[in-house]
Amino acid sequence: MPLTDDFDATFPSPMSLNVTTPGGAPVTVPIQGIENLTLPQRQRKKDTYTPISGERAGLEQMVLCSESAAEITATLTYEKAHQIAMDAICGTNGCTIQLVGPDGMTISGTGGIERIGVARAEDSRHMTSDITIALSAGWTMTDGGGTTYVQAFNETLVSGAATIDLTACGANDDEDLTGLQLTKMIVTADEDNVGEVTLAEGAINGYAPSDGFSVAVAPGDTATLTFSAAETVDATHKTLDIAGAGSEVVRIYLEAVEP
């Protein structure tokens, strides 16, 4: 059972954590957010010995040998469906673990959920859940397999309109997605917005990640969209228009790959 975690939009960009049981059905369970998360630490076991002769006689020496098991620890914002799903697979061995960072760094390995439980519950405050995932030695760290990650950036509407140019996007307009296809988009509307904002294919040199693309997001809400057959960004297919009522703020996160 895949368990997918996304940071909420108060963070620069999302991180995902997936746990898939051996032979498990591909079920995605929503999680409201990660409070904090500690990456696994690479560590080797150490043996020591002391030579009795030679230039190092009497000086303890060390040898690094087998790799130790590791763990991922996190505090998650409580969500009932996810809590129940994680509890059900606690102690299951041989799970596939994948942790993907906002810059594409991907940690993959095998292991299982060692510990899960509601950590804190206070009146007038949200509940949190602690989780410990044990990783067998031999886990890998890679660059994410060629996905381009555009760190989350803000777009402020002027007179109820704004345009995103995918050939010059991001916080400093320095991300060029020419020749790539969008695979994921997260749109978060600022909670102080006066009404819904709508993101759609641009009127000039418009880009359509899907047929009839249009998404409306209410103040304070987030829409997470994935695309399997988006068109390729080029000079005549590159813009997304945002429409609202005034000077609303929208936060955008993008992922793209080569066709």
| Confidence (pLDDT) at 168 | 96
Say what the pLDDT of residue 151 is.
78
CA angle, 247 as apex, 245 and 252 as ends, to 5°? Answer: 100
Q: What is the pLDDT of residue 145?
A: 63
Sort 68 into a burial class: Cβ within 10 Å, 0-12 / 13-18 / 19+. Answer: exposed
Residue 10: predicted pLDDT: 45
Task: Give burial (CB, 10 Å; 0-12/13-18/19+) of 133.
Answer: buried
| 3-state helix vs strand vs coil in the chain, percent to 5 | 5, 45, 50
State the burial class of residue 55 (Cβ atoms within 10 Å of its Cβ: 0-12, 13-18, 19+): exposed
> How far apart are the C-alpha atoms of 51 and 60, rounded to whole Å?
7
Of 22, 4, 33, 74, give the one whose Cα is nearest residue 226: 4
CB atoms < 10 A from the CB of 142, how many? Answer: 11
Residue of 173, 197, 181, 172 lying closest to 237 (CA atoms): 181
Q: What domains are defined for the chain?
A: 16-142 (2.40.30), 148-257 (2.60.120.220)
Successive 10-residue mean pLDDT values, the chain, 259 residues: 50 67 58 78 95 95 95 86 84 85 81 88 77 93 78 90 95 91 91 94 95 93 90 96 94 89
Question: 246-259 burial, b for 16+ CB within 10 Å, e for fewer?
Answer: eebbbbbbbbbeee
Token duo for residue 12? 């620069």
Residue 148 pLDDT: 83
| pLDDT at residue 123 in the model | 74
Residue 135: count of CB within 10 angstroms of its CB = 21
What is the structure's pLDDT at 5? Answer: 57
